[in-house]
């Protein structure tokens, strides 16, 4: 019960890493509040976890929806102890694709804007909405999901890498700005994690991920959830501004 009665918000909590985190935090005694755009899956988690969990349908890229969500949570619980900015999307493509000297493809502006809106602006929206309450209560833990590609870069992921590198930067800024109010801000950088989305990739791609990981396996969602748990708990009371890599030892591109 390392999080007994701590009100914990988890964005993108309906599947994958978010779902594993909701389940683990509920076991550890937290009052879990998840949001996602997938209402069916979100409600399924509430049905599974019962009174330990509640669900809101929220698009984190929409500031008004985020504020309504936060206001309702505050009215219900009067406090927010932990915010996990876990929501994210992928829209991979090369910056430009050239064949025989001719431009044959490129990353669309729509795909660039969508990933920025969810992965970067969404983190900003949720943190800015929660910060005043945490300042007033003089405590809080904010944990942002970045990625190893935000640190090392990756082929075909201009938009995604830009957001995850931006999240690292925001994490360090907020750790400085909010530390005086006893608010800790950290990030986790997952490596290749076997989520539902990743499982749909071709077998040769999955094998390549394993071969590039020194521990010779892909991570499980619970591996990241355990990292979130540590950073949310009092055991990490002197950890702020950190980026914790949970990646099996990989360096992307090697």
Catalytic residues: 160
Three-state secondary-structure class, residue 54: strand
Q: Which element (helix H / strand E) includes 197?
A: helix 196-199
Instruction: For residue 203, count other CB atoms closer than 10 A to its CB.
Output: 7
Three-state secondary-structure class, residue 23: helix
Handedness of CA 157, 9, 244, 197 (dihedral sign): negative
56 Cβ neighbours under 8 A, 6+ residues apart: 33, 34, 35, 42, 69, 72, 73
Enumerate the H helices of 4-144 as residue ranges.
16-27, 39-49, 63-77, 109-115, 122-137
**How far is residue 57's CA from residue 66's CA, in Å, rounded to a whole number?**
10
């Amino acid at each position: 019960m390392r999080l007994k009665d701590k009100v914990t918000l988890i964005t993108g909590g309906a599947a994958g890493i978010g779902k594993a985190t909701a389940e683990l935090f509920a076991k550890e005694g937290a009052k879990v509040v998840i949001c996602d755009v997938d209402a069916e899956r979100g409600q399924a988690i509430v049905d599974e976890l019962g009174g330990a969990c509640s669900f809101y349908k929220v698009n984190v890229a929409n500031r008004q929806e985020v504020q309504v969500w936060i206001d309702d949570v505050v009215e219900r619980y009067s406090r927010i102890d932990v915010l996990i900015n876990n929501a994210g999307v992928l829209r991979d493509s090369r910056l430009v694709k050239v064949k025989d000297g001719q431009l044959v493809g490129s990353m669309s502006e729509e795909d660039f804007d969508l990933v920025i809106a969810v992965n970067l602006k969404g983190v900003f929206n949720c943190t800015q909405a929660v910060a005043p309450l945490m300042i007033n209560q003089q405590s809080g833990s904010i944990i942002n999901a970045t990625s190893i590609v935000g640190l090392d870069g990756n082929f075909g992921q201009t938009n995604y890498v830009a957001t995850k590198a931006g999240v690292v930067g925001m994490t360090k800024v907020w750790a400085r700005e909010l530390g005086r109010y006893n608010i800790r801000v950290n990030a986790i950088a997952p490596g290749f994690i076997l989520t539902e989305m990743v499982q749909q990739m071709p077998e040769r791609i999955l094998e390549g991920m394993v071969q590039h990981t020194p521990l010779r396996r892909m991570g499980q969602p619970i591996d990241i959830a355990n990292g979130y748990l540590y950073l949310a708990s009092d055991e990490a009371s002197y950890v702020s501004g950190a980026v914790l890599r949970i990646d099996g030892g990989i360096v992307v591109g090697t």
